[in-house]
Structure 1
Amino acid sequence: MKKFTKLKSGAAPLVLGLAMVSAPAYAQDQDVQDADAVDEEVIVVTGSRITNPNLELSSPVGVVTSEELELRQTNVAEQFLRELPSSVPSIGSAVNNGNGGSSFVNLRNLGSQRNLVLLDGRRYVPADTTGRVDLNNIPLAVIERTDILTGGATTTYGADAISGVVNFITKQDFAGVELNLSEQITEQGDGNVFRGDLTIGANFDDGRGNVVLSVGYQDQDAVFQGDRSFSEFNIGSFTGAAGGSSNSVPANLRGPVSAQINADGTGLDPASSNLFNFNPFNIFQTPFERFNLFSQGRYEVSDAVEVYAQASFSKQTVSTIIAPGGSFFNTYSLNYGNPFLNDVIGQAICAGDDIDPNTDGVQARTPAQCQLLLDTPFGPTFDNDGDPNTPEVANPNYDTVNLGIRRRSVEAGTRNSDFTSTVFNFVVGARGNITDSITWDLSGGYGESERIQRQSGFARAARLQNALIATDATTCVADPNVGATAEAGCVPINLLGPLGSLTQEQIDYTFSLTQQVITATSLAQVNALVAGDFGWGITETPISFAVGGEYREFGATRRSDEASQTPGAVVGGGGAAPDITGSYDVYDAFGELVIPVLEGMPFAESLTVELGARYSDYSTAGTEFTWKAGGAWEPIIGLKIRGNYQRSSRAPNIGELFTPVATGLSNLGSDPCAGAAPTTDATLRAICLAQGAPAGSIGSINDPVAGQVNVTTGGNLNLGTETAKTWTVGFLAEPAAVPGLAVTVDYWNIEVTDAITTPAPGDASDACFIFNRDPTSAECLAIRRNPLDGSLSGSAADTPGLPLNLTNLGAIETDGIDLSINYRTDITDNIGLNLSFNGTWTNKNLFQATPGSLNRECVGFYSVNCPSIQPEFGFSQRTSVTFNDEFRLSLLWRYLDGVEYEPAQFAAEVAAAQLANEDGMGNLLPVADQDCPDFLGADPGGCIVQPEFLNIGAEHYFDLTGQWEISDNVQLTLTIRNLFDNKPTNVGSDVGSTAFNSGNVYPSSYDALGRRFAAAVKFSF
């Protein structure tokens, strides 16, 4: 019967089943081999190009084994990487609104663009213009282990590795047949995940060659927020009450009148009296379907030369589902004679319609004049004599009104985006020996990625406008003054009616069109390496070296249809996607030395110095020189002290350079111009007016709806290279007195200067309203408001919102300590115990967008400025007990430290609330005039985040797994994830970034799916 793998005590750093181990920076198999056996294999050393398996280098490397992934029943790489204490969640399966169809990793919370993903030590084709690798394409079925080096690695691997690398190492020389089938489902009966993988490998020609082929399929169902009690209803973070969007049904009106149409569509209620609950339509787990192929082979042409090749293919579809669309916050022209505008609503609109904006106050028509307009069923011109052969004349009783009509198109269904990605990547090469101790390796690779996004359920702004100029329920009328055309097939739309008033014909004309965006990338690379040792050195152990060169050419494009790339053309689409075209190439030369200085001496069993340098020449960013210096000192057997210092760099990627400036969406909880504050503060009023708010909107500007505002950003061709200083120091202890025990402790420190960054939304707002509170300041004038209602929401065509300019002015600094403890022992002859612990304490993570902005701390905090949660401390601990080497019971314990609402953001909200209660000269207003009564007491009044949403307590998750070796050929694994069915903490829906604060919780950090069950069976022959 097949047995579970047992480790020898010398392999304690790689204890089977560990969550993630900080191990020496060399690769080992699960069974420790003798030196001769190791020399026959290709050794992949993460963190160095030197391939000597006996070296323990200065950079700590974490390892996640394939056995650990089997215990977790992990289906895609992003799932286990986001749970590592050394990373924070990036875009993945729990991100719905903001998911671009790919999944990424974010080491040390420095941004997913600052770490590098490798396959067998080589770059993999990126998924988008930022150069990031989509983790959904990694073929886990053939992954032997995953190495995670968290710290600068650009000297070894080139740019993009400022925060580290994730290196997926495939199984080498696999022979046999392995079939894996698994199924997962939540306790609620949803979120089903099926995965199947078939891997076939064979040796041939007396072991001179080996080939492997793996085929996989995965299908994952959605989990809707409406199917969980904590997310069924949208909760406002600032009010604590049922919340939602003012883009609702019936419509909310803004402009001449601020009111909401009542439930039967006959009259008006107070504005936003019936907000739309969008939560039930959104999802916690994105639907996902994938088909993938992986193959690799090698053949010894002679004793000195081996050729090899590797190829992978993946086709996948990620789907996102968000609530029904509608007219949102655009301004439309509505003709007073519109057949769907009744007299009650029409008179209210007409009464607020200022026919002479050059005169103070609202110059309105009389009720009789308004009624004449309402009774006029003609367009801007009409046939006055009944003769079709004579020209039409101007209609003196025709007029239009500019009106914000926020109407949710529930009848048209949800807004869906399907992202279909097709990726292939291949490598061919040859390697061999120059001498007994020096090897060479020459390889070339090429990959392409294409991601097609297809959107449905979104309205077209032009068609909405056409459909709002009508003489009757079937006839659209052209009005060039407002941009309306009598387009063929146009059907007048009833945005003013109750739920159910949109007919299928109206939906087909306005909402039935789809949008398409195609993102394509390519990566060509050539790598040359000579590595080995000189055969001599200061000590008996010779000096090892590696020298080599690389050439890479990266190209990326984004092609959008006309509607997708036109600002404001697609309503509710989150901003335009203008075309992007860019490319660059880079030539690299690098070298490394590992110099044993002392060995076998008192207090110096070994002392090793490690040096490295890389010279890079970018076609876009010029030349860069990076270097590293480190060492390892073993004063006594079983204790190794190590340290490493690196100067790293990152050149701007294609997206950062070439993306056109465009207006999209970001998050902001409150707007200083909202409410009555500008009516009592003369300076604030002047600022709001200078930013484009109309005078009539002062005092009635709304806070950001659903916490979202317009922002304008894009690439910058003047960007330069950002640089980083990274260093680590720590120790590895394997005391002889406690066989099977390994402990590592490492302090790490990363400082990025000239960082390529954009301001956080709070930074852009504070730059004006706190630090440069002057209506003539550049910081204030850069913010541009909706010309109709003064808000920061609206059409991208006329409301740029907050400026988030990309510059090299940023600074990032983070440091902390990693701790790993691993222990293995035999309790009896038949019972074995494995214990592993891996934890990270993060001291700080400071981000400063510009020298004059706040140096913002995000460790332990969440807000719109700190998107993904990074606890101060987190760990994974696994306990595994093995019985007779045939059955394993394993418990994984994950811990996340408590976090709280960002104090800096809370202080800004308190300051704004205080202004709302003062007359602009520091005098407190009468209670009746205050916008924020008792805003720090029992009644925050919607001005600051509610007290109950200011903290998320510490969280513990437990996963229980049983694994049986049923026979030599069959293994069964059963797992219960989130054993105690822990629910995420409710913090409301608009306390943070939309991508991560969704469904009132943070579903990427905290389990929103609940208890779920997984079963897997593996057949091996």
Structure 2
Amino acid sequence: MAQVDDTDEEVAFDTVVITGSRLGNANLTSSSSVAVLDGGEVDVRGVTRVEDLLGTLPQVASGQGSTSGVNGAQATVNLRGLGANRTLVLVDGKRLPYGSPINVAADLNQVPSQLIDRVEVLTGGATAVYGSDAVAGVVNFIMKRDFEGLELDVQGSIFQAGNNNSDIERVLSDYGQPNPDSIFDGESGDINLVAGKNFDDGRGNITAYAGYSKDNAIRWEDRDITACPFTTRDGGTDFGCSGSGSMPRLTRYSRTGAGGFNLVVDEATGELRNYNQSTDAYNFSAGNYLQRPRERYTYGAFVRYDLKENMEFFMDFSVTDNKTEAQVGPGGLALGRTSSINCDNPLLTSEMLATFCDAGSVYVDNDGVPRAPLRIGRRNMDFARVNNFHLNTQRIVGGIRGEIFGGVDYELFAQHAKVDYTELLLNDVSTSRVTRALDAVTDPDTGDIVCRSVLTGEDPNCIPFDIFSPNGITRAASDYVTMPTLRVGDTEQTVIGGTLSENLDRWGVVSPFASEGVSAAIGFEYRKDSLSLTPDSSDTTTSQRVAVAGEVPVYELFTEIQAPIIQDMPFAEELTLSAAYRYSDYYDTTGTQSTYSFGASWRPISDLRLRTQYQRATRSPNPIELFAPQEIGRGTLSGQPNGLKDPCAGDFDPNTTTPEPFRSLEECMRTGVTADQYGTILDSSDNIPTLAGGNPNLDPEISDTWTGGFVYEPSYLPGFVASVDYFSIEVDDFIGMVDPSETLGQCLDTGDANYCGLINRDSAGTLFLISGESYIQSTLINTGLLKTTGFDISASYGFGLDRFGLNNAGDMKVTYAATILDELTSQSLPGSPALDCAGYHGDACNNPAPEYRHRVALDWTRDKLSTIFSWRYISSVDQYSSAPTAVNELDATSYFDLAARYEVSEKLRLRAGVNNIFDQDPPLTSLSGYGGGETDGRGNTYPQVYDAQGRYIFVGATINF
């Protein structure tokens, strides 16, 4: 990896002309920092997933990829931690379409890794040059073209985990969980074919490619670090195993208030006993994926042809077919999904009838049915919930480019892309069906136990769901309450654009103090992004299912200029100013916008170049944000110190184990609790109702980016380059939703009507996900701000070992790239407290934001052998919570990788390597800390940030015919 910041010829290692600009003059330099990964490193490191390649850059925060749970089939890149939808992804300067109708961030699976020549990463706003979405920056994949011949590339890889952490083995043993053995799994195979040929005496070239890749799954239960969900025990000093209590392994019956209880049916005796979280909770690690299975086909072609002198036709065509599967534990009936039981239910044992339907609890509903308050939690143990995702992407780009009028470069192009999306969810539980199946009665004519809905004719197919005896659930009943759900949709993108650029020196537009003229570009672009998503009607427990459709068209005009002001003068070997402007008209949605940038590059002496840039960037809301219907979905609340979710839930009955409410009556009344309800409110489950959806009145996000730094290339040390750059990015009118926990907390603390007005409790004062009566409003709005500041540091030194008297020992290159994160602040609403997550993880901060990351690489090349040894370092991060947990700090982590490539002949290259050589375990954290300090980790860590799968081993070969 190299951090390329200049274009001087004396640099000894490979340099690439990168300007972050539409101006193609190689003599101009960029006033922004641009990181470059070249294709040679892609090859020798054995990278097959593009997100893994980008993840080695310290500027890249955790994105979505193969370790993600149920977040779709996409792989995304997230620059600066500002969100993947604020990073613009290009292929050869042309933008990729929305990744899917559920996540508009570009899907990196569309990029054929075998054809990557280099990757350019420009961080900071770049909307004036590239258009909307480039708030955090731009990732531009430059592809290999003009290939001649036939090349076959194959690779196999596998993960290996020792599972020998003695501390984890002790924890698993204490809770009766098995410790997995050392294992090889997660196998992957890739085969790619590239063929190319010049034709018509070299006037044209066609390069075609096809590829197939397959990844096998890695399951949580096959790693000691993920074999059970961690919680905290012994007052916050040690890990323990936990699990789901809202959907436990056994049926759980719960009631708070007077006469409250928390019971299960004993498996051995069939009688009621007290619920025990340690033994009765469901270990949902079983079946979850640490690496999702994936199968992908890619094929496409690059074509160019010189129609005549100074006019070239070009066309790109690509198809990607990607299938993957996300799997989580079995679904079921969560506590809070039911609020009562019918007391004429013949499935109730006499013990249950006496306990659940005691005289003080029974009431008669509007239909004359005797009922009693009861919350039931039950895991449907037969099948895991599986999401099957299928994305098929087709993209075509075509146009002409060349030179006119003796020096004006031009390009006209059009592109169209379509992504077809299918999602099939299997084995989830239907809330309405399980409610009907629990409402069992005796048929007065036959004496059989049937659903009440069968007698009324509402649902003649209903089968009673007997969760009241250890083995009462039949296969037919299980099949009835589960149902597949399907979502289908697509995204489409159409772009038409053109650019004219010229060096104006032939017109005399030259500074009197410079030898080179001003370069300028003008252009236009029309773009329309659209999407649609259609779900079937369902009411399953896993996710919100809403239909959405819409389009966002825009007309744009842009211009750019770079002006050498001074050249070849004392203390000003070069001073260049740059500026860019873009006018955008989103005529159907957000109206007109202007974005612009100003930059300067100054080389006072040949060894030193100073640079700075200011950029105003915008991001217009996408169709999901604008048009998604507002419906009740699922959200989460941070746990309270009393162990409950709702801070106003609980009772004062000394005969129950239910805690007292954590908040006072005065505070709870701010959230809609009445004096009569206080002390009788049932706690919500892990999921609470939220009113989520789009907002057609959204405004664009606006960001201001400042960068400044220097590049040092000492003439006394040929081959050495170092750079330091400061960055500051602030995004105002940030499009997002206020977290339900923050809404509730701010209302309780301050009584602010802006927050309290978003809370709607049901008639009993609860926040249950059982009807549309209660919810916390979390629709999208233009909220507060995001801000990040820090420093990028890079250095590279390339030299021949003969410089040190080691003749014929080859060449060496040392590269260093680091990011120092000073600030990563978010503010949900103007005037609300700002949250700085730099150096923290968990709770409101979600994924870790380390204050320092680096990658050091040592490249050695001798004759036909090339090797890379690299060191990846992530600094420690603290937990963003005052509540004690077993691990309040995630330790600093180092990973070491080694790869080699050997050219057996001109037609055969072999490669092999190991990433995470020492099988370094990731830092671990509790799923929910003592006192409720929660994290958003997956599998007791953050596999998006750390190497959670173990040691990665690969071998590959490239054969030329």
TM-score > 0.5 by shorter chain: yes
Question: Structure 1's 429 and 694: CA in aligned 2 closer, same or farther, altered over 3 A?
Answer: farther
Query: Are 2:190 and 1:225 aligned?
Result: no
Supply the distance in 2 between the matched residues of 1:1009 and 1:965 (Cα, whole angstroms): 30
Q: What is the match of residue 163 of structure 2?
A: none
- Cα distance in 2 for partners of 1:784, 1:404 equals 21
- Residue type of the partner of 1:581? A
| Cα separation, partners in 2 of 1:338 and 1:313, compared to 1, 3 Å | same
1:69 corresponds in structure 2 to 42
1:964 is aligned to 2:902: yes
Q: Distance in 2 between matches of 1:332 and 1:784?
A: 18
Q: Does the 8 A contact of 2:814 with 2:856 survive in 1?
A: yes
What CA distance in whole angstroms lies between the structure 2 residues aligned with 1:681 and 1:983?
A: 37
- Match for residue 108 of structure 1? 80
1:476–1:486 contact (8 Å) kept in structure 2: no
Q: CA deviation at 1:70?
A: 2.1
8 Å contact from structure 1 (residues 24, 61) kept in 2: no
Query: Is the CA contact (8 Å cut-off) linking 1:26 and 1:57 kept in structure 2?
Result: no
Q: Residue 92 of structure 1: SS of its match in structure 2?
A: coil
CA shift, 1:437, in A, is 2.8
Give the structure 2 partner of residue 383 of structure 1. none
Partner residue of 1:901 out of 879, 890, 914: 879
SS of 1:765 mapped into structure 2: helix
Partner deviation per Cα, 1:86-116 (whole Å, 9 max, x = no partner): 12112211111x4222121111111111110
CA positional deviation for 1:994: 9.4
- Note if 1:345 corresponds to 2:315: no
Deviation at 1:81, TM superposition (A): 2.0
Q: 1:56 deviation in Å?
A: 1.2
Distance in 2 separating the partners of 1:479 and 1:697: 35
- State how far apart, in whole Å, the 2-side matches of 1:201 and 1:66 are: 18
**1:643 aligned residue (612, 615, 619):** 612
Counterparts in 2 of 1:519 and 1:44: CA distance versus 1, 3 Å:
farther
User: Alignment partner of 1:104: what SS?
Assistant: coil
SS at match of 2:927: coil
Structure with a larger share of its residues in strand: 2
Q: CA deviation at 1:579?
A: 0.8
Post-superposition shift, 1:548? 0.4
Residue 1012 (1) aligns with residue 952 (2): yes
The answer to whether the 8 Å contact 1:175/1:202 transfers is yes
Measure how far apart 1:662 and its partner are. 2.5
Q: Is the 8 A contact 1:305 1:433 kept in 2?
A: yes
Change (3 A) 1:786 1:875: farther
Q: Which residue of 2 aligns with 1:820?
A: 794
Query: How far 1:814 sits from its partner (Å)?
Result: 1.1
The match for 2:274 among 270, 274, 284 is 270
Contact 2:792 2:817 in 1 (8 A): yes
Q: Is the 2:585–2:592 Cα contact (8 Å) retained in structure 1? A: yes
Alpha-carbon offset, residue 531 of structure 1? 1.1
Q: Verify: 1:532 aligned to 2:502, yes or no.
A: yes
- Pair 1:342–1:668, CA change in 2 (3 A): same
What are the residue-to-residue correspondences of 1:446-465 with 2, within 5 Å? 446-465=416-435
- Matches of residues 501-520 of structure 1 in structure 2 within 5 Å? 501-511=472-482, 513-520=483-490
Residue 199 of structure 1 corresponds to: 194
Residue 525 of structure 1 and its aligned partner are, at CA, apart by 0.5
Secondary structure of 2:939's counterpart equals coil
Maintained 8 Å contact 2:912/2:955: yes
Q: Identify the range of structure 1 (156-165 vs 710-719) with the bigger mean alpha-carbon deviation.
A: 710-719
Q: CA 1:441 to 1:781, structure 2 compared with 1: closer, same or farther past 3 Å?
A: closer
* Counterpart secondary structure, 2:151: strand
User: Mean Cα displacement is larger for which, 338-347 or 602-611?
Assistant: 338-347
Structure-2 change in CA distance of 1:594 and 1:633 (3 Å): same
In the alignment, which residue of structure 1 is the partner of 2:642? none
Alpha-carbon distance between aligned partners in 1 of 2:117 and 2:952, rounded to the nearest angstrom: 26
Deviation string 1:415-463 (CA, Å, 9 cap, x unpaired) is: 0001100110111100111144321100000010111100001011222
Matched AA of 2:378: R
Partner of 1:589: 557
User: Identity, % of aligned pairs?
Assistant: 29
> SS at 2:479's partner residue?
helix
> Do the aligned residues in 1 keep the contact of 2:364 with 2:370 (CA within 8 Å)?
no
Alignment partners' CA distance in 1, 2:550 and 2:409: 37
Letter in 1 for 2:355: A
In structure 1, the residue matched to 2:779 is 805
Contact 2:914 2:952 in 1 (8 A): yes
Structure 1: state its 5+ residue gaps.
1-17, 34-42, 359-379, 381-393, 564-568, 907-943
1:125 and 2:124 correspond: no
Give the partner amino acid of 1:200: A
Report the Cα distance in structure 2 between the residues aligned to 1:163 and 1:761, rounded to whole angstroms: 26
**The one of 840, 858, 883 aligned to 1:861:** 840
Structure 1 counterpart of 2:137, from 164, 169, 179: 164
The corresponding residue for 2:173 is none
Q: Is the 8 A contact 1:213 1:294 kept in 2?
A: yes
* Contact 2:11/2:718, CA 8 A, preserved across alignment: no
Instruction: Tell me, in whole angstroms, the C-alpha distance in 2 between the residues paired with 1:26 and 1:474.
Output: 88
Question: How much has 1:780 moved relative to structure 2?
Answer: 3.2
Aligned pair partner of 2:813 in 821, 834, 837: 834
Q: Find out whether 1:50 has 2:29 as its counterpart.
A: no
TM-score by length of structure 2 reads 0.89
Change (3 A) 1:72 1:697: farther
Distance in 2 of aligned mates of 1:474 and 1:516 = 35
Distance 1:479 1:457, change over 3 A: closer
Q: Given residue 894 of structure 1, which amino acid in structure 2 is its aligned partner?
A: R
Query: Residue type matched to 1:886 in 2?
Result: K
Match of 2:244 in 1: 245
Between the aligned partners of 1:589 and 1:1011, the Cα distance in structure 2 is: 50
Residues in 2 aligned to 1:153 and 1:205: alpha-carbon distance in whole angstroms: 40
| Counterpart residue type for residue 390 of structure 2 | T
User: 1:158 offset after TM fit, Å?
Assistant: 0.9
Check 1:467–1:689 CA distance in 2 against 1; reply closer, same or farther (3 A cut): farther
* CA distance in 1 between partners of 2:423 and 2:935 (Å): 18
The count of corresponding residues between Structure 1 and Structure 2 is 897
* Contact 2:638/2:933 (<8 A) preserved: no
Deviations 1:236-257 (CA, angstroms, capped at 9, x unpaired): 2587532211211321123475
- How far 1:267 sits from its partner (Å)? 2.7
Q: CA deviation at 1:668?
A: 3.1
* Alignment-mate amino acid for residue 747 of structure 1: Y
**Pair 1:509–1:525, CA change in 2 (3 A):** same
SS of residue paired to 1:986: coil
Residue equivalent to 1:85: 58
Contact 1:243 1:277 in 2 (8 A): yes
Check the 8 A contact 1:213/1:293 in 2, yes or no.
yes
* Other structure's SS at 2:224 match: coil
Residues 586 and 847 (structure 1), Cα distance of their counterparts in 2 relative to 1, 3 Å cut: same
1:260 equivalent to 2:200? Answer no
Query: Where does residue 5 of structure 2 map in the other structure?
Result: 23
- C-alpha deviation, 1:723, in angstroms: 1.0
Change (3 A) 1:191 1:353: farther
2:147 match: 174
Once the two structures are superposed, residues 109-153 of structure 1 have per-residue CA deviations (whole angstroms, 9 ceiling, x without a partner) of 111111101111011121234532111221111111111101010
The 5 A counterparts of 1:606-685 are: 606-619=574-587, 620-670=589-639, 671=645, 672-675=647-650, 679=660, 683-684=664-665
Q: 1:689 to 1:820 in 2, by over 3 A?
A: closer
Contact 1:730–1:747, Cα closer than 8 Å, also in 2: yes
Match of 1:982 in 2: 920
In 2, Cα distance between equivalents of 1:781 and 1:26: 60
Q: Are the equivalent residues in 1 in contact too, given 2:648–2:662 (CA < 8 A)?
A: no
Contact 1:740 1:824 in 2 (8 A): yes
Match of 1:548 in 2: 523
Change (3 A) 1:601 1:690: closer
1:271 Cα deviation after fit: 4.0
- The alpha-carbon deviation at position 688 of structure 1 amounts to 6.2
Shift of residue 785, structure 1, vs aligned partner:
4.5
In 2, Cα distance between the equivalents of 1:485 and 1:463?
14
Residues 237 and 320 of structure 1: CA distance in aligned 2, closer, same or farther (over 3 Å): farther
Per the alignment, residue 320 of structure 2 pairs with 314
Counterpart-to-counterpart distance in 1, 2:546 and 2:717: 62
Query: Aligned equivalents of 2:35 and 2:346: distance in 1?
Result: 68
Matched with 1:488 is 460
Question: Per the alignment, in what secondary structure is the counterpart of residue 347 of structure 1?
Answer: helix
